[in-house]
Structure 1
């Protein structure tokens, strides 16, 4: 059984985690931080905006079931890649849109996806593309957050619509 890793940032990690956990072929989604200069990031310091880290998810997936390209399609469908350092009311570099690739094949796939999608957006895509640095898992209480706290207002107002969009546009890929 072959497994690959995808690492994506596109706003609050709770939202990305909630979406990718529901995709067939995804084995694990871990919320965390990467891309900054602080050696031991934590939620409070990352939310303060001074660490340079982004909230992100590390997705372990079976490429025989779901391709990296398909994961990128989902990623671009559920967040706005044209807003610099923000997603909705979440503002700061920690909420930037980024693809952290693991190897030259993922880099080539991501570059091709960015080029393919660019004409379909009214504004330029500002998604950062770079090699994946060290990933720091978030605190335990952030893991599986939407599934445990889906009734909270933030989850209802921000994460739930992204899950609904997944169900609407990618229903054949769901593992529910």
Structure 2
């Protein structure tokens, strides 16, 4: 069976990575950068906000265990898709909400799901999540990978990521490993 991939930017990649690592059918999650102009960017480069890259995760998943549609549902439920270039206190274009699609089918699924959310008025403000074709994905430095699992007691993890993990546990119990 071939791997399927989904690539999402939902603010800080530590948060997004931690969420998706908990789901059945997710084989791996890699934190990294894409959507910008600089070749081989580093964390220091993208933190300037001038490279155009987003902090993102690339997810390898088994479509027989979890669908792309379900990944979209979790993505939208675990970050704020209505804030432009921001998630909580994290501000800058690198923290934008963006879906990088790998196929026309993924693009259509994402558009349809966003339209469904808008019609249902799930959010109090319009969704600003961008939808773009996947470009070169640059893996983040090693110390960013699996960050939450290795740093749960760090204050950012405790105050920002742990509440997201609790929400995931409450809202998506049947999807958890």
TM-score, structure 1 normalization: 0.98
Which sections of structure 2, spanning at least 5 residues, go unmatched?
Answer: none
2:18 maps to: 18
Deviation at 1:40, TM superposition (A): 1.5
Q: What does residue 57 of structure 1 align with?
A: 57
**Counterparts of 1:78 and 1:3, CA distance in 2:** 24
Q: Tell me which of 148, 152, 159 is aligned to 1:146.
A: 148
1:134 is paired with a residue of what secondary structure?
coil
Offset of residue 161 of structure 1 = 1.0
**1:28 partner SS:** strand
In the aligned structure 2, how far is the partner of 1:40 from the partner of 1:34?
10
Q: Deviations over 1:62-117 (max 9, x none)?
A: 01000000001000011000000000000000000000000101001000010011
Q: Distance in 2 between matches of 1:154 and 1:127?
A: 24
> Equivalents in 2 of 1:134, 1:113: separation in Å?
25
Distance 1:159 1:33 in 2: 20
Gaps in structure 1 of 5+ consecutive residues? none
Contact 1:17 1:29 in 2 (8 A): yes
Partner of 2:169: 167
Counterpart of 2:131? 129
Moved over 6 A (4+): none
What is the count of residue pairs matched by the alignment? 175
> In the aligned structure 1, how far is the partner of 2:36 from the partner of 2:166?
31
